[in-house]
Amino acid sequence: MANMKQIAQMARVSIGTVSHVLNNSAGVREHLRRRVLQAVQTARYQPNQLARGLRRDKTDMIGMIIPDITNPFFPAVVRGAEDVAFSNSYRLILCNTDNDHSKELAHLNELHTYLPAGLIVIPSNFSDLTVQAERYRRAGTGVVCVDRLPKNWSGDSVTADNEQGAYDATRCLVKLGHTRLATITGPLHLTNAKERLSGFKRAMREVKLLLNPEYVQETTFDKRGGYLKTLTLLRLLPRPTAIFAGNDMIALGALLAIRELGLNCPKDVSLIGFDDLDLGETTDPSLSSVSQSGYQLGTRAASILLDRIQGDKSPAKHLVLETSLDLRNSVAPPPSGNRVTKPLKRRNRRDGQEIVHATS
């Protein structure tokens, strides 16, 4: 394969001119530029990105650290970031933390040595990443946090309006007539889970509804957590008639549990999730959810990063994207009469958990 020197010889220009043409870095007279491009095409020349990165102390790679690509929410975030990166000639390199802070630190420390142009992080938990981010910044590499924020974060960020989204969902349930509202939150060390709980509580406070502490259950942002915590909730007497789930994966687990208990959603229990994943359209009943655009989170984060790469030195940006409520078939007015307190019918076991089947 041809190298830069050979391209320069073919085009009868200096190596510097070839470099300027390839990097678009300085005005090169048009006829020379055309000669270089012609030589590049004839020789099918492809610059060695690693060598180029070493020369500039910076590659055209953007690092992205996320919790888990198998969680259906995150692919859209990645896709949004990658689309913006790609259309600006940057390539994305992806790392998963599994919400494990030590893995996150390993990625942060290692990625640095790949000389990325920028970094997008969905933090694994509420740990302080200031020291790590500072190291990137000193090397002229911007860092944008997305979806959740680490402790003491003062850099760029893009998040959804989690508080308002949860508030809207809860108000909707209240409007339908529910008074026994429960929530299953994500891990409360995560800023977004905490904000969603605050929105839920604000809506309850506003209408002066008492919140039974047992009606607030915390779990991981996944189906199993939702399933187990729903079993816990629906065993309580009086039983809650509506559940606001901290995300759609929790809500999917809740649907399973409701069904296993012989109850009906929404006749016995209304349910609203958060994220508005596509698969919520295909559940039975279809899932109502607070919609946040993962794709937008990704595109906005990558755009901020590109501005930084191009020299934007303005103060840190904190974008908060609006949410909306997507109502489908999982919500209805609360059941009338005392069905919710009828005696339990039979017991089963699944996943080591007691399952209580109640009459409806």
In the complex, which residues of this chain contact ligand RIB (CB under 6 A)?
71, 73, 147-148, 192, 221, 247, 249, 274-275
Partners of 319 in the β-ladder: 158
CB nearer to ligand RIB: pick between 8 and 158:
158
CB nearer to ligand RIB: pick between 107 and 308:
107
CB nearer to ligand RIB: pick between 170 and 192:
192
CB nearer to ligand RIB: pick between 125 and 264:
125
* Contacts for 66 with CB less than 8 Å, ≥ 6 apart: 74, 77, 78, 94, 95, 96, 97, 122
Describe the crossing of helices 30-42 and 4-11 by its angle, rounded to 10 degrees.
120
Q: In angstroms, what is the minimal distance from the CB of 142 to ligand RIB?
A: 21
Give residue 131's identity as a one-letter amino acid code: V
Q: In angstroms, what is the minimal distance from the CB of 74 to ligand RIB?
A: 7
Instruction: Determine the Cα–Cα distance for residues 65 and 145; give it in Å rounded to an integer.
Output: 10
CB nearer to ligand RIB: pick between 13 and 245:
245
Residue nearest to ligand RIB (CB): 247
Please give the DSSP secondary-structure letter assigned to residue 139. Answer: T
Give residue 293's identity as a one-letter amino acid code: S
Q: In angstroms, what is the minimal distance from the CB of 97 to ligand RIB?
A: 12
Cβ-in-10-Å burial (0-12, 13-18, 19+) of 314 comes to: exposed
Q: In angstroms, what is the minimal distance from the CB of 242 to ligand RIB?
A: 19
Taking CA 312 as the corner, what is the angle to CA 307 and CA 314, rounded to the nearest 5 degrees?
125
Q: In angstroms, what is the minimal distance from the CB of 70 to ligand RIB?
A: 11
Q: In angstroms, what is the minimal distance from the CB of 243 to ligand RIB?
A: 16
CB nearer to ligand RIB: pick between 222 and 307:
222
Q: Which residues of 189-224 are buried (b: 16+ CB within 10 A; e: fewer)?
A: ebbbbbbbbebbbebbeeeebeeeeebbbbbbbbbb
